[in-house]
A and B are shown apart, each in its own frame.
Chain A
Amino acid sequence: MSFKGIKDQTYYEVLEVSHTATTKEIQRAYEHAKETFDVDSLAIYSLFSEEEVKEIQEAIEEAYRILMDEALRRSYDQSHPQTVGGLPTEEPSEAQKVSGEKKTSLSFTGLSFNSEQGLYRGKALKQVRERMGVEPQTISKETKISIKMLEWIEEETFEKLPPLVYLKGFLKSYAQSLELDPQKVIEEYIRFMEESRK
């Protein structure tokens, strides 16, 4: 890749994913990019100006919007044929190389999904799932959680949810099937639930 400014980078380069990245990979890359280029991110401290950060954030949002929409992505690929074979998908393997630990503990991005509320509340989980194009039936099949239960989790129908110990198990499986950080999902979901009950 030749050296390019943010405005000249393809959407794939902005998110550091390959042209063949799956929606899950794009979702992960987006979360990583959002966290990296958050104004309070330690990793960019003193390196970028405020304007540069803003420009990068806008590019990330735009890249995510286009690449997560099947039709928009197809049309983008057609108008940008040079993007074929863009960056290699090195993030997950690199992450595992560095962590040197088992996939279950560290392959997750460990980053929060920045929904409007900045939480893994039910509605945010639903949003992520839909953006990935994953049907509740698929999650249900993978996790053995009933579709009704998934609906209650996503719709935040807290009164129908099981005791905490079971709910944590469900959230963990749900997060794993979307390749999100289970610990973070559990923590943030339960925090949101408890705050709503106050």
Chain B
Amino acid sequence: MIWTIGGGKGGSGKSFITTNVGICLSKLGIQVVLIDADLGGANLHTFLGISPPALSLSDFIKKRVSHLREVLIPTAVPNLQLLTGAQDLLNAVDAKSVQKQKLIRSIRSLNSDTALVDLGAGNSLSVLDFFLISDGGILVVTPEPTSIENTYRFLKSAFYRRLKQSVSSSSVKALIDDATDRKNEMGIQNPYDLIKVARGMDERDAQRMIEEIETFHPNLILNQVRSKKDIEIGFSIRSACLKYFGIRLHYLGYVVYDQDVNNSIRRRKPLVLENPRSRAAQCVMEIASKLANSHKMAIRSKGYELQGH
């Protein structure tokens, strides 16, 4: 399975969560590849305490190596490997659909069970596309207005992009573009208004959009929570998304604010290895066990195929 971790803003803890959840999964016996696709600051290797890797995805794309697995960097943790090359990865996703699918197939064909992709805080189309084509998109948010605002901005972009990709009529596509601007001439204020207007233009496209809405289930992790009230914000975000977008967001869990997190990052030693009994590490483990369950369910599910989905 491919999980992407994105949204929020820089500093919300995406790389920390990607690294530590990845380690927990590998400890559960799952083969994991961490993929660093953070254009702004690719540094998963630092979180893992290893030197900047010499090999990257670029070596595969430029055919300096024949198979993607040759650019995987081993780590000190059994079952855990690292793949870097943010720019190349996102360029490929941005590129034509054939190339995009080829890369996704290559990632899926790696000898790993799970890939965790750190998308960073970017909001570009390629980042959105990677988020949308993965098996599960995870948003990492901190309980602060700036982080929540950025997350909603990201979610809106991903949401409308998903709708746009689902419709065939060019006029409905143009309508979706208009809807992203709140000051649009059609007076479309929210996704519900959009569907209403789209119905008048192309009933089938409107129906397709509703289907996309019903099957879009991004995941949410609330990071750096300091109180029970903060934890509840996750449920409130879920309710807000249901009312606004009509989507069912899955609240995967939360990670408490813990000074041990900063200490572990400074020491370049992953928290779940350095201090597994800390409160934050316990939270991360719980999230990882949920992902591990999804992994098991995906294996059981007959509908899941390794090649594309």
Contact = CB atoms under 8 A, between A and B. Distances in A.
A32 B239 contact: yes
Interface in A100-149: 100, 106, 109-111
Contacts of B213: 3
A90 to B, nearest CB: 9
A41 B233 CA distance: 9
Interface stretch (B20-28, B172-180, B240-248, B297-305): B240-248
A29 B235 CA distance: 11
Contacts of A41: 236
Which of A1, A42, A45, A94 counts the most chain B CB atoms within 10 A?
A42
Given A56-B243, A100-B286, A91 B235 contact: yes
B233 A5 contact: no
Interface string A1-30: 111111000000000100000000000000
A3 B232 contact: no
Interface in B187-208: 189-193, 195-196
B253 to A, nearest CB: 5
Interface in B213-252: 213-214, 228-229, 231-237, 239-240, 242-244, 246, 251-252
What interface size band does chain A fall in?
35 or more
A46 B190 contact: no
Contact of B239 (A43, A99, A106, A110): A43
Given A5-B192, A32-B239, A43-B240, A111 B251 contact: no
A94 B192 contact: no
A46 B148 contact: yes
Contact of B192 (A4, A99, A109): A4
B152 interface: yes
Given A47-B240, A56-B243, A42 B235 contact: no
18 contacts: A1-B214, A2-B210, A3-B191, A3-B246, A5-B192, A5-B196, A32-B235, A36-B240, A42-B145, A43-B240, A45-B149, A45-B152, A91-B235, A98-B235, A98-B251, A109-B232, A110-B228, A111-B232
Give 8 nearest A-B pairs by CB, closest first. Answer: A43-B236, A3-B246, A36-B236, A5-B192, A46-B149, A110-B228, A43-B237, A36-B239
Interface of A: 1-6, 16, 32-33, 35-37, 41-49, 52, 56, 91, 94-95, 98-100, 106, 109-111, 181, 183
